[in-house]
Amino acid sequence: MPLTKAIGWSVAFVVLTLLTAGLLGLGAAVVLRGSVEAGAGWLRAGDAESTLVQALVTIVSAGLFTWLLGVRALGLTARDLRYASAGEGLRGLGLGLVLGALTAGAALLISVAVGGARWADDSGTVGDYLGQALKTAGVLAPAALGEELIFRGVPIVLLAAALGRGGAVVAVAIPFALAHLANPNVTALGVGNIAVAGVFLGLAFYAPGGIWTAFGAHFGWNGLLACLDTPVSGVPFQIPLLDYHAGQPAWLTGGAFGPEGGLAATVALTAAVLVTARWAGKDTV
């Protein structure tokens, strides 16, 4: 596929998906809150319920335009889009979850060992912790899937047809990182680490299990960090029993942006990229 065509269709897919998701999200908010003004304010508040609604409408929108543009207009198949069979998809999801969580855990361990990051006791019971952790995971899972469908869906497949898999993985990682520029407490190192994370997830997409492996890795990273009370890409989480303190220096531990803002995450994500590159190399589909 010519590069200009791949870029054009990719941009069209992302823009149409986001616009439709925005309209659907506002429509859902109006229904739930009774007016446009109240609905818009609720969405801007960014609480768990509104974040979940936005994630779900993003999944619906991405699925719609995957079918309309990817399948109907461009003739992509489920194999092209790396929707693995049920068995392989479940294995990929599980392995992705483990790899994502291990990578996040490695970044935290480095922060603890070198930067003095720690957890203090917080209020709440074990039951409170489990309930909030499940609620948090229930919001983060569809959010991670929505992002994967946008970035590691139709666009990466089209760009791979023009640039090859390696070029597409890097090309998609850049806008994936730039999409986080407006996050709270963002830093240049944080954006760079998210780009490395984008390479990691792109390689996971080309590992056995396809899109489900990438989704698992994304959710595993976000889920472990959030359930340990650490910020995820600058977004704070309030988890009972645990009170995370990032330690110093911020360039190592990430500070208020969370581990993604520090050199500890750079080391962990680079190691994950190397491991996943070998894993992806075993898949010839």
pLDDT tens-place string over residues 103-156: 999 999 999 999 999 999 999 999 999 999 999 999 999 999 999 999 999 999
With CA atoms as reference, report the closest residue to 189 among 138, 141, 255: 255
In the predicted structure, residue 284 carries a pLDDT above the cut 80 = no
Rounded distance between C-alpha atoms, residue 38 and residue 71, angstroms: 37
Write down the domain spans for the chain.
80-280
Region 164-184: mean pLDDT is 96
Region 223-240: mean pLDDT is 94
Q: pLDDT value at position 46?
A: 80
Query: For the chain, how are helix, strand and coil distributed in percent, rounded to 5?
Result: 75, 5, 20
More confident residue, 281 or 139: 139
In the predicted structure, residue 282 carries a pLDDT above the cut 90 = no
Q: How many CB atoms lie within 10 A of CB 177?
A: 19
| pTM (2 d.p.) | 0.96
pLDDT tens-place string over residues 64-115: 999 999 999 999 999 999 998 889 999 999 999 999 999 999 999 999 999 9
Q: Which residues pair with 107 in a beta bridge?
A: none
Q: pLDDT value at position 37?
A: 86
Region 198-224: mean pLDDT is 97
Q: What is the DSSP letter of 90?
A: H
Mean of all residue pLDDT scores within the chain: 94
pLDDT tens-place string over residues 19-49: 999 999 999 999 988 888 888 888 888 888 9
pLDDT confidence bin for 285, thresholds 50/70/90: low
Q: pLDDT value at position 133?
A: 96
Burial of 285: CB neighbours in 10 Å, binned 0-12, 13-18, 19+: exposed
In the predicted structure, residue 236 carries a pLDDT above the cut 80 = yes
pLDDT confidence bin for 283, thresholds 50/70/90: low
Q: pLDDT value at position 1?
A: 85
Region 230-258: mean pLDDT is 94
